[in-house]
Amino acid sequence: MTNQAATEFIHKTVLLNEAVDALAITGERTNGVYIDGTFGRGGHSRLILQQLGPNGRLIAFDKDTQAIASASEIKDPRFHIVHDSFATMSEALQELGVKHVDGILMDLGISSPQVDDATRGFSFRADGPLDMRMDTTRGISAAEWLASEDEEKIREVIKNYGEERFAFQIAKAIVARRQTDTITGTRQLAELVAHAVKTREKGKDPATRTFQAIRIFVNKELEDLEVGLDAAFSALAPFGRMSVISFHSLEDRIVKQFFASKVKVEQPDRRLPIRYLDLPQPQMRLLNRIKPSDTEVSENPRSRSAILRVAERLPEGNA
């Protein structure tokens, strides 16, 4: 940590060079239009800007007000920041008069500053208000949701988004506790979960899955991802590339299945008289699947679960 204000937190961009290199910003493509779907603290955006030509353009998105403040420090006329989820990509591009883009990078999940800042409520390692919203100007906090939601829905969220096998016991404990005490702090929730979870995974806090689940639900992360992937594909020009980094199995499964749906095509009955040119063609081709190197993981342990998937849009009628 430097001598900067205590409210500033260090963020190490995961798979920085690999994700940007996958966009292939070379030759004529240096003057293309690119999207950074999750600005964060701007690691990927700044590297993309370094590789863009004078007529290139970068449009970034982020829900976090602190990320938007960081983005405002970039005084490059080729750069534009949108304070919203990448799920609004189609509408934003239409407003900006952009029909097609040459590359899209999406770095999913939460950033280190969000985790390390106890006032955001993402982590149970330090006590703080149970908020968890990426955009603190919209929606309801985790504490507000837990105070009003019914037990069955809480159980469903913790089970489906946290893959927690003790979801029933945790939901029951939450509802019982709120009868006598409002759950407003991260440590308060973490201790409650610890008492409800009967066995612990080695090396993992018992509250990890519950916190992940509530965060994903409150921020609509998986819903936004599904909408965002569709919007990204629609915006891509032929031979445009998508570079997507995920950090947990739920995200990666959605990305993997989305790419697979664009790569695989249903073949018609061979007995039907269909011309070769009329056969369905794949819309994308997979280019790579990359995980952080041992060196990156040792320097930034939070990168250990990251998976980068890269795919390229194919032109219509490709052979």
Same domain, 273 and 193: no
Same domain, 79 and 20: yes
Same domain, 153 and 297: no
Q: Which of 165, 183, 218 is the last residue of a domain?
A: 218
Residue 10 falls inside a structural domain: no
Amino acid identity at 211: F
- Per-residue b/e over 208-227, b at no fewer than 16 CB within 10 Å? bbbbbbbbbbbbebbebbeb
Q: Where are the beta strands (DSSP E) in the chain?
A: 33-36, 57-62, 79-83, 101-107, 236-246, 284-290, 307-313
The Cα-based distances of 117 to 78, 111, 125, 134, 141 in angstroms read 31, 10, 10, 12, 16
pTM of the model: 0.89
Number of domains in the chain: 2
**Sheet strand arrangement including 33-36:** 79-83, 57-62, 33-36, 101-107, 236-246, 307-313, 284-290
Same domain, 106 and 226: yes
Residue 147 falls inside a structural domain: yes
User: pLDDT value at position 235?
Assistant: 98
Question: Is 43 marked as a binding-site residue?
Answer: yes
Q: What is the CATH number for 175?
A: 1.10.150.170
User: pLDDT value at position 196?
Assistant: 95
Same domain, 21 and 57: yes
Mean pLDDT of 281-301: 94
Question: Is 42 marked as a binding-site residue?
Answer: yes
Same domain, 20 and 103: yes
Q: Which of 218, 250, 273 is the last residue of a domain?
A: 218
Question: Is 131 marked as a binding-site residue?
Answer: no
Tell me the per-residue pLDDT of 30-58, one tens digit each, with 9 for 90 and over: 999 999 999 999 999 999 999 999 999 99
Residue 154 falls inside a structural domain: yes
Same domain, 213 and 229: no
Question: Is 169 marked as a binding-site residue?
Answer: no
Query: Predicted confidence band at 227 (pLDDT cuts at 50, 70, 90)?
Result: very high
Query: What is the spatial distance between Cα 46 and Cα 83, in angstroms, rounded to a whole number?
Result: 17
**Residue 201 is part of which domain span?**
136-218
Same domain, 196 and 69: no
Query: What is the spatial distance between Cα 90 and Cα 103, in angstroms, rounded to a whole number?
Result: 14
Tell me the per-residue pLDDT of 174-225, one tens digit each, with 9 for 90 and over: 999 999 999 999 999 999 999 999 887 787 899 999 999 999 999 999 999 9
Least confident span in 18-27, 76-85, 191-200:
191-200
Tell me the per-residue pLDDT of 96-153, one tens digit each, with 9 for 90 and over: 999 999 999 999 978 778 888 898 999 988 899 999 999 999 999 999 999 999 999 9
Same domain, 87 and 146: no
Any bridge partners for residue 151, and if so which?
Answer: none
Q: Are the beta carbons of 189 and 183 closer than 8 angstroms?
A: yes
Mean pLDDT of 51-76: 96
Residue 7 falls inside a structural domain: no
User: pLDDT value at position 302?
Assistant: 84
- Per-residue b/e over 20-29, b at no fewer than 16 CB within 10 Å? bbbbbbeeeb
Q: What is the CATH number for 71?
A: 3.40.50.150
Question: Is 62 marked as a binding-site residue?
Answer: yes
Same domain, 52 and 107: yes
Residue 288 falls inside a structural domain: yes
Q: Give the whole-number percent of the chain exceeding pLDDT 90.
A: 80
Same domain, 104 and 251: yes
Q: Which of 190, 218, 246 is the last residue of a domain?
A: 218
